[in-house]
Amino acid sequence: GEVATMMDVPITKVIGTCMTLGIMVTQNQRLDAETLTIVADEFGYEVEFISAEIEENLEVVEDKPEDLKPRSPIVTVMGHVDHGKTSLLDYIREANVIAGESGGITQHIGAYGVTLEGGQKIAFLDTPGHEAFTAMRARGAQITDIAIIVIAADDDIMPQTKEAISHAQAAGVPMIFAINKIDREAANPEKIKEKLAGMNLLVEDWGGKYQSHDISAKKGTGVKELLEKVLLEAEVLELTANPDKPAVGTVVEAQLDKGRGYVSTILVQAGTLRVGDYILAGKNHGKVKAMHDERGNIITEAGPSTPVSILGLDGAPTAGDKFNVYEDEREAKQIAAKRTQLQREQSVRTQKHITLAEIGRRIALGQFKELNIILKGDVDGSVEALSDSFSKLSTEEIQVNIIHKGVGAITESDVLLASASDAIIIGFNVRPQGNAKQLAEKEEIDIRNYSIIYDAIDDLRDAMEGMLSPEL
């Protein structure tokens, strides 16, 4: 309806055009960017997109280089179940390597900061695992600077280890390997490094670029050195932020606390947050009444890379929601209301992610340069064969990336990765498991199942050439 008014054409004509594109819409429906472009083009208009931030009257001011100050790294710990992620986070939380802090951290607020002996700080996200990491990314939030991949030295590179690696790589987040449980008799760190080398991940000892350290999360052996490596990596990344502006950041978790109201843990990413600031986080807003650190200490301000728990929001925002400070309380409320409305409308929104059937059209439009694929199969042989064949379908116009491949059913974590990386999922003799199917429907992820290798390759080739016949 809005587009029709803007172009001054009857609504029925816009709806008709959408129908010819195979999209059934009502006049109240929002169209995605691509459909808008095509529809407008039909009527001789060109669409210019402005970012939602501008639409919300947020000042998007580029930081001046001289205002950027070094900030500490934000780290996520990932790895296969039982390989020691929680133990590592617990050890760091409680350890005495932390300078000048009396007592460990007792509160779980979803993230915590530690200060090392040299005074340097590291912030840890306290929800280990790549699912949480990628769920945030699917919501558009990337807060992790460095991923620690924990691998038990008495085990092997397990499916979830591979997943964690793929998820970190898809996000472009550098990895440091923590080869854990070296206190165990059966531990064989060299075997793990060899296996990593086999995956084209050469660790330093093997002449490669990936830092790794042998640790015992249980005893604390090597943890200090591991953290020093984290700092080294951070130095290379030259992480900076401008601390002298209104705070912006991301919600890590939030809950309703009996007696205290809504408690949200947020991570300040730039600027400085102060008690009394009026913030908008997702659809929720409010004045920051109080701030606490992970030790329960009252704090009055929090700079970049600092996790804080705040009181004062009118509800519980979702993990991954961005937050901003507003000078004008009324404006923040209006935007919150607008976001609530947008979200309602989005539930009836059209296509969000790439589908096989759409690839050809997207390529023809010229803006689509990379096709991300997640490949799952029943046996290693077919996964490798398909992965090779798919990669070979890359052309000058479009690059085919296998962002994750593995043996086993299609999991929720695969769907999240697809959502975060705009990928399609191809299953070979495997089906979605558990809630993966529902999640895929919700996230609008295209999952294709095949049982004949050539069918899969033919379909992908046809799709890339824009020749795929509509799905039956």
Residue ranges for the known binding site are 79-86, 126-130, 180-183
Q: Compare residues 81 and 232 and give the one whose CB is closer to ligand GDP.
A: 81
Q: Compare residues 83 and 139 and give the one whose CB is closer to ligand GDP.
A: 83
Number of Cβ within 10 Å of residue 377's Cβ equals: 24
Number of Cβ within 10 Å of residue 460's Cβ equals: 24
Structure tokens that stand for 196 in this block: 């990593």
Please report whether residue 180 would count as binding ligand GDP according to CB under 6 A: yes
Helix (H) or strand (E) holding 175: strand 175-180
| Phi and psi torsions of 134, nearest 5° | -80, -30
By CB under 6 A, the residues from 116 to 155 that bind ligand GDP are: 128
Please report whether residue 84 would count as binding ligand GDP according to CB under 6 A: yes
CB 223 within 8 Å of CB 214 = no
Q: Compare residues 164 and 247 and give the one whose CB is closer to ligand GDP.
A: 164
Q: What b-and-e string marks burial along 146-184, b requiring 16 or more CB atoms within 10 Å of the CB?
A: bbbbbbbbbbebbebbbbbbbbbebbebbbbbbbbbbee
CA distances in angstroms from 173 to 146, 164, 372, 414, listed in the order given: 6, 11, 17, 18
Please report whether residue 94 would count as binding ligand GDP according to CB under 6 A: no
**Interface pick for ligand GDP out of 184, 287, 295, 349 (rule CB under 6 A):** 184
Q: Compare residues 128 and 304 and give the one whose CB is closer to ligand GDP.
A: 128
Please report whether residue 76 would count as binding ligand GDP according to CB under 6 A: no
Using the rule CB under 6 A, give the single segment among 66-74, 181-189, 437-445, 447-455 that binds ligand GDP. 181-189
Q: Compare residues 166 and 216 and give the one whose CB is closer to ligand GDP.
A: 216
**Interface pick for ligand GDP out of 18, 31, 83, 280 (rule CB under 6 A):** 83
**Interface pick for ligand GDP out of 37, 86, 169, 351 (rule CB under 6 A):** 86
Burial class (CB within 10 angstroms; exposed 0-12, middle 13-18, buried 19+) of 38: middle
The contacts found for 23-28 with CB under 8 angstroms, 24 or more apart, are 23/350, 23/351, 25/350, 26/348, 27/1, 28/1, 28/345
Q: How far is the CB of 85 from ligand GDP (least distance, A)?
A: 3
Q: How far is the CB of 436 from ligand GDP (least distance, A)?
A: 21
Output the known binding site for GTP: 79-86, 126-130, 180-183
Give the whole-angstrom CA distance, residue 229 versus residue 363. 42
Give the whole-angstrom CA distance, residue 453 versus residue 165. 26
Contacts of 194 (CB under 8 A, 6+ apart): none
Paired with 301 in beta bridges are 274
Please report whether residue 216 would count as binding ligand GDP according to CB under 6 A: yes
Residues that contact ligand GDP, how many (by CB under 6 A): 16
CB 246 within 8 Å of CB 271 = yes
Q: How far is the CB of 217 from ligand GDP (least distance, A)?
A: 4
Please report whether residue 217 would count as binding ligand GDP according to CB under 6 A: yes
Please report whether residue 183 would count as binding ligand GDP according to CB under 6 A: yes
Please report whether residue 222 would count as binding ligand GDP according to CB under 6 A: no
Give the whole-angstrom CA distance, residue 469 versus residue 461. 12
Please report whether residue 85 would count as binding ligand GDP according to CB under 6 A: yes
Using the rule CB under 6 A, give the single segment among 43-51, 82-90, 243-251, 265-273 that binds ligand GDP. 82-90
Q: How far is the CB of 150 from ligand GDP (least distance, A)?
A: 6
Q: Alpha carbon 343 to chain centroid distance?
A: 20
**Interface pick for ligand GDP out of 42, 56, 82, 156 (rule CB under 6 A):** 82
Please report whether residue 81 would count as binding ligand GDP according to CB under 6 A: yes
Q: Compare residues 155 and 446 and give the one whose CB is closer to ligand GDP.
A: 155
The contact set with ligand GDP (CB under 6 A) reads: 79, 81-87, 128, 180-181, 183-184, 216-218
